[in-house]
């Protein structure tokens, strides 16, 4: 089940530089682990913003919540969620996906 | 070059039923032709809305405009565009895409 | 899987009275059938508005979309969706639900 | 008398960790006591947010205010209230509730 | 139990003049009957707007809904509701109201 | 001349507790003095919010400004003002007020 | 007593041309009569908009309402009102106005 | 050439009291100097707000920017600008201004 | 003196096709005449919208108003205006423009 | 490929004055280098605001992101992006650009 998720990051200016670097590194690792497991099939930078647009592929709302809540940058983010479904014009449906 | 595009459709209630059916059929055909050409790699229904979230892969802003302007449903849509770039955490970048 | 859904109804003033009455009757029947099947466990009137707040219990985003898309009043509604998950303070979790 | 209440929590980053943990623990206890008394019949996590959607069953606006004002997390919350009434399509009404 | 209610009226330009005059007359009569019963203790014009700010004194959310739903102008109004409670600084409380 | 005024209070978390208590006490005294003088005929708590809805009865905009500017909590408030006039449906007008 | 009032005009496209011309002519005459009486000391066009920004000098909220309600274009306008008072930096105050 | 400018002031609570008093005094002096030169023909307090509505009479956008940028309170203000033009109903136009 | 102007066009669906075509042709001619006179130095399509972003170079607010008011599509447009001034980082200023 | 970009700057009051001066100097240098390379063909001050409206001419969304992300003031800015395309009324198109 797919969700589009926009994440807008706002790191406080007075964050300790080591904490900052460590949090960003853990965020990257966390994201790539979920990408490899197929839970996070797409991540794009939104041009000109400290933001990303991502697609998540999860079992249900509960798993979506756990994945997002576990993000190392979660407390510095504004998160916007859009639940997705198959679109009748999608050619992938023709191929009997 | 990728763009996320949200389209919210608002068909007027008094649209002639034949015009309506024909426009929707042409929209589907138009979308699938662009999907096959790789210009429109993703289209998802937004759950509970007469809306879709799409990803376009075009040469530049001009091509994006022409593709959207040509949509049979264009005059009935509100269109919201988000320019996308590669995200540094994307594992596709590791593989030397 | 639960979703909160707010529906704001805006029936056009010039709707044929018979169509209007028939659509409202079919909406009620549709809603009650889904309530009986357990898909629509709660529906409340929002005081002072032609609106309701509902809780849906569905398999996934796709089923949520189909249920809402099928509402006889769908074309006259603005729909707002909030995906829900279990809350760690919910006493129902203590009982091993 | 029912109210839907959305609570969005925003804990300050510099809150003393002990105060933080203690406040969250007292919030949970406070919520569960009211759940057991039937005053707070539903609490759901809003997926991907530090927020909940709750249903309160109180005598009047005054009791609603007192219950919310007493929340240990009240000063860190944005609260949105929707007064609810019985919906004519609710099957519970058919059973002579 | 008190509620503040703002009503913004938007009568369609093409409303039949007799229907218009009759609806406004019935609205006035409806309002004054409720004022006399003590259900609608205050009604003020909002200066420069086709709007009023009213205070209702009702048993519960259900009665508030029924009163508003029954307004002859209801279908032409946008209604905004604010639930009220006693304020600790109100001198009426000192007198043991 | 009447005005409806909504006041939303946002006390900073790091305000000195004595300053806080003293400011709130002075606010209450200030409000009650104006209530007794008939300048502030109504004050209601907005349920679930650190806010009130008040009605002021003043000579003109200048007096309204002075009264609000003098509130001990003024610097911590967001103030929203609605100028009121007599409503043609008000039964008080029938009695030749 | 002064009020700033912004009026945004939206004339329906299908308004009878004679009604349109007549209403605009009556609006101009109405405005100029009030300007001559000193009730409407300033009127400016907002550049690039079918809108004006005006200053009214009236006895009270009731007179402001009556003046605006009587505008021939009133039913086609969105009206925004800002109550004004003397500013302590105004040099007119130094001259003992 | 006229512009309406709304200025909303938000002085930080922790501003040094001497800096605060000095800045406000310089703002007043700055404003009155421009009023005397005819550049700032009107300044009104917005009732109930730490805000003013002003009319500026300047050569061009550049002068408007320089005047506003030079305000001692500029860094604590939100500024909203509305470009004005002569209104065809203004009686001043009849007198051949 | 420069202004940025965004124009969002919303042509009514039921506009007579000849009127529509004629209005669009006159709009183009009007725009190109002003471009040639140097009054309208830039016009860009906003990608994916029936909108443009333009730069106007006019004597004052009054001329800006007259130019926009005269647009054949004016009554179908929402217009947003941003007054511009020279930027201190502009390299054109170094060359003694 | 062109983009309009609005940048609203909000420098924190407690920024070290040397850091502040140095960042602003680097921003100016960075901007002028890109202007000279033709990547940043226009920059205008927005009158009365600590803001600019700029036009960028870049290869694609990725280059736009890199240019903006590299701004010395980036972390203190709110950035709003509008993708532009050629407008059919632009006289530059007639000359066979």
Verify whether the Cβ–Cβ distance F62 to G86 is below 8 Å. yes
Rounded CA-CA distance D81/D78 in Å is 10
Of F13, F45, F49, the CB nearest to D79: F49
Residues of G whose CB is below 8 A from H32: 89, 91, 94
- Residue J45: its pLDDT value, please? 98
Residues of C whose CB is below 8 A from D39: none
Reported as a single tens digit per residue, the pLDDT across I45-92 is 999 999 999 999 999 999 999 999 999 999 999 999 999 999 999 999
Rounded CA-CA distance A67/A59 in Å is 11
Verify whether the Cβ–Cβ distance D84 to E64 is below 8 Å. no
Of D46, D88, D91, the CB nearest to C36: D91
- Residue H96: its pLDDT value, please? 59
Report the residue of G84, G86, G94 to disrupt the H interface, i.e. the one with the largest count of H CBs within 10 Å.
Answer: G84
Domain count, chain E: 1
Rounded CA-CA distance G33/J13 in Å is 51
- Residue B95: its pLDDT value, please? 72
Verify whether the Cβ–Cβ distance G5 to E47 is below 8 Å. no
Reported as a single tens digit per residue, the pLDDT across A47-68 is 999 999 999 999 999 999 999 9
Size of interface I-J (CB pairs under 8 A): 76
Residues of J whose CB is below 8 A from I72: none
pLDDT above 60 (res H70): yes
Rounded CA-CA distance C65/F55 in Å is 46
Q: Is G93's Cβ below 8 Å from some Cβ in F? A: no
Q: Is G1's Cβ below 8 Å from some Cβ in F? A: yes
Q: Where are the alpha helices (DSSP H) in chain J?
A: 17-36, 61-69, 91-94
pLDDT above 90 (res J21): yes
Residue B86 CB partners (closer than 8 Å, separation 6+): A44, A45, B93, J62
- Residue E96: its pLDDT value, please? 59
Distance from CA of D13 to the nearest CA of F (A): 12
pLDDT above 70 (res J96): no
Q: Which residue of B has its CA nearest to I13?
A: B75
Residue by residue, pLDDT tens for chain D (97 residues) are: 999 999 999 999 999 999 999 999 999 999 999 999 999 999 999 999 999 999 999 999 999 999 999 999 999 999 999 999 999 999 998 875 5
Distance from CA of J88 to the nearest CA of A (A): 26
Q: Average the pLDDT over F6-28 and give the result.
A: 96
Of C3, C62, C85, the CB nearest to A86: C62
- Residue E86: its pLDDT value, please? 97
Verify whether the Cβ–Cβ distance H48 to F12 is below 8 Å. no
- Residue H73: its pLDDT value, please? 98
Q: Which residue of C has its CA nearest to E61?
A: C47
**For chain C, what percent of residues have pLDDT higher than 70?**
98
Q: Do chains E and G touch (3 or more CB pairs under 8 A)?
A: yes
Distance from CA of A75 to the nearest CA of D (A): 9
Rounded CA-CA distance C48/B6 in Å is 32
Q: Do chains J and H touch (3 or more CB pairs under 8 A)?
A: yes
Q: β-pairing, F42-46 with F2-9?
A: unpaired
Q: What DSSP state is assigned to residue A59?
A: S
Of C12, C75, C79, the CB nearest to B48: C79
Residues of E whose CB is below 8 A from D60: 1, 60
- Residue D96: its pLDDT value, please? 59
Verify whether the Cβ–Cβ distance G47 to H83 is below 8 Å. yes
Q: Average the pLDDT over J57-63 and give the result.
A: 98
Reported as a single tens digit per residue, the pLDDT across F46-95 is 999 999 999 999 999 999 999 999 999 999 999 999 999 999 999 998 87
Q: Is H95's Cβ below 8 Å from some Cβ in G? A: no
Q: Is J47's Cβ below 8 Å from some Cβ in H? A: yes
Q: Is A70's Cβ below 8 Å from some Cβ in C? A: no
Domain membership of residue D27 as a residue range: 2-94
Q: G60 and F60 in contact (C-beta within 8 Å)?
A: yes
Structure confidence at residue G95 as a pLDDT band (50, 70, 90): confident
Angle, vertex CA C56, rays to CA C52 and CA C61, nearest 5: 120
Rounded CA-CA distance J37/J31 in Å is 10
Q: Where are the alpha helices (DSSP H) in chain D?
A: 17-36, 61-69, 91-94
- Residue I77: its pLDDT value, please? 97
Q: D53 and D6 in contact (C-beta within 8 Å)?
A: yes
Report the residue of A55, A75, A84 to disrupt the D interface, i.e. the one with the largest count of D CBs within 10 Å.
Answer: A75
Q: Is J78's Cβ below 8 Å from some Cβ in A? A: no
Structure confidence at residue I95 as a pLDDT band (50, 70, 90): confident
State how far the alpha carbon of D68 is from the alpha carbons of C47, D1, D80, H14, in Å: 20, 15, 11, 31
Rounded CA-CA distance D78/F51 in Å is 12
What mean pLDDT, rounded, does chain A reach? 96
Q: Is A92's Cβ below 8 Å from some Cβ in C? A: no
Reported as a single tens digit per residue, the pLDDT across J37-56 is 999 999 999 999 999 999 99
Q: Is H61's Cβ below 8 Å from some Cβ in G? A: no
Distance from CA of H21 to the nearest CA of I (A): 31
* The residue to which tokens 């203000």 are assigned: H77
**For chain J, what percent of residues have pLDDT higher than 90?**
93
pLDDT above 80 (res I32): yes
Verify whether the Cβ–Cβ distance J84 to B64 is below 8 Å. no
Rounded CA-CA distance I38/J42 in Å is 17
For the CA atoms of F90, F91, F94, F97, the dihedral, rounded to the nearest 10 degrees, stands at: -80
Structure confidence at residue G62 as a pLDDT band (50, 70, 90): very high
Q: Is C9's Cβ below 8 Å from some Cβ in D? A: no
pLDDT above 90 (res H97): no
pLDDT above 80 (res B61): yes
Verify whether the Cβ–Cβ distance B1 to J65 is below 8 Å. no
In this structure, the number of other CB atoms found within 10 A of the CB of residue A5 comes to: 20
Please report, for the domain that includes residue B57, its CATH number.
3.30.70.1060
Q: Which residues on adjacent β-strands are paired with residue F46?
A: E84
Q: Count CA atoms within 13 Å of residue G55 on its CB side.
A: 16
Q: Average the pLDDT over I21-48 and give the result.
A: 98
Burial class (CB in 10 A: 0-12, 13-18, 19+), H73: middle
Verify whether the Cβ–Cβ distance D5 to F45 is below 8 Å. no
Rounded CA-CA distance A32/A36 in Å is 6
Structure confidence at residue F96 as a pLDDT band (50, 70, 90): low
**Taking Cα atoms as reference points, which of I44, C53, F45 lies closest to residue D90?**
C53
DSSP-assigned letters across all residues of D13-32: TTS-HHHHHHHHHHHHHHHH
Q: Is F19's Cβ below 8 Å from some Cβ in H? A: no
Rounded CA-CA distance C70/C67 in Å is 5
- Residue G52: its pLDDT value, please? 98
Q: G79 and G7 in contact (C-beta within 8 Å)?
A: yes
Burial G1-38 (b: 16+ CB within 10 A, else e): bbbbbbbeeeeeeeeeeeeeeebbeebeebbbebbeee
Verify whether the Cβ–Cβ distance A64 to C86 is below 8 Å. no
């Amino acid at each position: 089940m797919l969700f589009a998720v926009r994440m807008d990051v706002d790191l406080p200016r007075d964050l300790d530089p080591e904490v900052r670097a460590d949090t960003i590194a853990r965020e990257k690792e966390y994201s790539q682990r979920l990408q490899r497991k197929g839970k996070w099939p797409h991540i794009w930078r939104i041009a000109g913003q400290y933001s990303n647009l991502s697609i998540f592929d999860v079992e249900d709302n509960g798993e979506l919540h756990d994945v997002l809540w576990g993000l190392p940058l979660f407390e510095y983010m504004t998160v916007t969620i859009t639940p997705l479904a198959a679109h009748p014009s999608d050619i992938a449906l023709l191929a009997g996906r």
